[in-house]
Amino acid sequence: MTATVDPNDFIISRKRKKYRFAIFRNNPLCFELDEWKKKAVDVVELGAGTALFAVELASRYPDKKFVAVDVKADRLQKGACEADERKLKNISFVRARADQLDQVTTKNSIELLWVTFPDPFPRERSENRRLTHPKFLQLYAGLIRPNGSFLLKHDNRIFFDWSLEQLLHEGWKIIEKTTDLHNSSLPDDYKIKTTYEMRWMSEGLFINFVSARPSVENN
């Protein structure tokens, strides 16, 4: 039997997306890139999705400045609403692409740059869209402060191993690494679960993690 699709489902879905975008536009913590004044920040979550990970970190470290960056406003608004409920003043949400990160923050300002569960773009022809491609690593290297770190979490072992190869090829120093984050002795901050992380763990997947530091020459 062929399943029937109710066209009203698409209408409801579009309305929900418009509603979420309206929430983003009306939240004082949220910014379009052209509304954002570039500034130094301590911690960035890039490709943040709902940004609940960054919100939890911001609640733990009220003296640090956080920014969550994602291209989709309807996702970011969820984290922004949570930050509002917690009355957080040290986090902002910016709608921007990864390659626009240098328009969000200043050179050598980032202490921690988190990339959490980015799209692995598994097709070889899409390698340059992966957020650990050398072109992105070179961008990050100019924005991370001396002794700052790039931190990656991912469920896909193939993507994770490929990312390690790119880091090493670009001269980054691996500081911490595990293929089973939640059974490791690494800090609890690393184990704050993102929306995707909870999903993958419920399916029995292990979480891979690496922190790395750019070479002095690239910084």
Counts for the chain of helices (H) and strands (E), in that order: 6, 8
Q: Which H or E run includes 144?
A: strand 144-154
Q: At what angle do helices 134-143 and 157-169 cross, to 10 degrees?
A: 60
pLDDT reported for residue 128: 95
99 is catalytic: no
Q: Which amino acid is at 77?
A: Q
First to last CA, the chain: 60
Helix residue ranges per DSSP H, 7-133: 7-26, 52-60, 73-85
Interatomic CA distance for residues 149 and 133, integer angstroms: 17
Q: Are 29 and 94 in contact (CB under 8 A)?
A: no
Which domains are seen in the chain, by residue range?
29-213 (3.40.50.150)
Which tokens sit at 57? Answer: 């970190």
Which tokens sit at 205? Answer: 């997947």
pLDDT reported for residue 196: 87
pLDDT reported for residue 215: 84
3-state secondary structure of 121: coil
Please state the φ and ψ torsions of residue 62, each to the nearest 5 degrees.
-65, -15
pLDDT reported for residue 25: 82
Q: Which of 99, 102, 119, 161 is catalytic?
A: 119
Tell me the pLDDT of the chain (219 aa) as tens digits: 444 544 444 444 666 677 777 888 889 999 999 999 999 999 999 999 999 999 999 999 999 999 999 999 989 999 999 999 999 999 999 999 999 999 999 999 999 999 999 999 999 999 999 999 999 999 999 999 999 999 999 999 999 999 999 999 999 999 999 999 999 999 999 999 998 899 999 999 999 999 999 987 666
pLDDT reported for residue 22: 81
